Structure 1
């Protein structure tokens, strides 16, 4: 239960490598993947956690391996948060930047498609903002995946 099968540093290296890999994959998949989970997205996240689990510990089920991996993941998260809070450039790279989806009552269809945003999501954001399309000043896809509507 407490014996490690691998050197302690290998668990930390595995956790760091998988953390960075998943961070890159989340950035590549786009803002909407992060911002609004569909049932399919939730399924993918659950399966992702199951698929990387053996890679984190190398099949070791000891308490120490779990503690080392968990500590490494938390430290990596704190380091990334520190870096992004102290560097605007790194925040833009890691977190992303807002994208203008529409202006002055016109939705930019090509941008919406490129960002993989469903038309219905933009329409829903307009309804939630109680803003008819013709009164929309700007629509943004925020870095966190939410759609923000500004009115005239």
Structure 2
């Protein structure tokens, strides 16, 4: 077999495995990674390197692997944009955390969001009490959006950070 075709097949297999593994373990966005997650990704990248290029440690072998990874990533992004079914499979849905001042404890528990974390998001949105929240949602990108009943709405940005208990449990 052509050594570069071998690299293309191996790299494609590793890429698809990683996409599926990250989906199964729930990691959605790089912004949600903590230190342990970054270490995991670095170790995984080191462990799958040989699986992608085999014995070919040449510059051209590495460039071939990198090129196919960029190409696959480009195709997946196009599919996410153009295919609702694929997008629904790959991306998680927004989740309602608070509705009209009432916390959804089942959803908060499922997503491992603490009340302290929710209060932090509320403060960043200028809301002091749960009762003042019209709706709070965990968006697909990891942001917590909060809309208050206040007539003067403020736009702020709160990016949810994962804590140490949620190493590879993304939701």
TM-score, scaled to structure 1: 0.85
Q: Are positions 1:151 and 2:148 aligned together?
A: yes
Give yes or no for the alignment of 1:70 onto 2:84: no
Three-state SS of the structure 1 residue aligned to 2:18 is helix
Task: List runs of 5+ in structure 2 lacking aligned partners.
Answer: 150-171
Question: Would the aligned equivalents of 2:52 and 2:65 in 1 still touch at CA under 8 Å?
Answer: yes
- The structure carrying a bigger helix percent of its residues is 1
Correspondence for 2:6: 10
Runs of 4+ in structure 1 over 6 Å off:
none
User: How many residues end up aligned between the 2 structures?
Assistant: 148
**Match for residue 113 of structure 1 among 102, 109, 112:** 109
Which residue does 1:54 correspond to in 2? Answer: 50
Question: Which segment drifts farther, 79-88 or 34-43?
Answer: 34-43
Instruction: Give the equivalent residue in structure 1 for 2:137.
Output: 140
Q: 1:21-72 CA deviation, whole Å, 9 max, x = no partner? A: 1111222222566442222222222222222222111142111111111111
Superposed displacement of residue 136, structure 1: 1.1
Task: Confirm or deny: 8 A CA contact 1:139 1:150 kept in the other structure.
Answer: yes
1-structure distance, mates of 2:76, 2:143: 22
After TM superposition, list the pairs within 5 Å mapping 1:26-105 onto structure 2.
26-31=22-27, 34-105=30-101
Runs of 5+ in structure 1 lacking a partner? none
TM-score, normalization: structure 2?
A: 0.76
**Per-residue deviation at 1:87?**
1.7
Once the two structures are superposed, what CA deviation does each residue of 1:82-118 show, in whole Å capped at 9, x if it has no partner? Answer: 1111122221211222122221122212212212334
Q: Please state if 1:130 is matched with 2:149.
A: no
Deviation at 1:6, TM superposition (A): 6.3
Residue aligned with 1:124, SS: helix
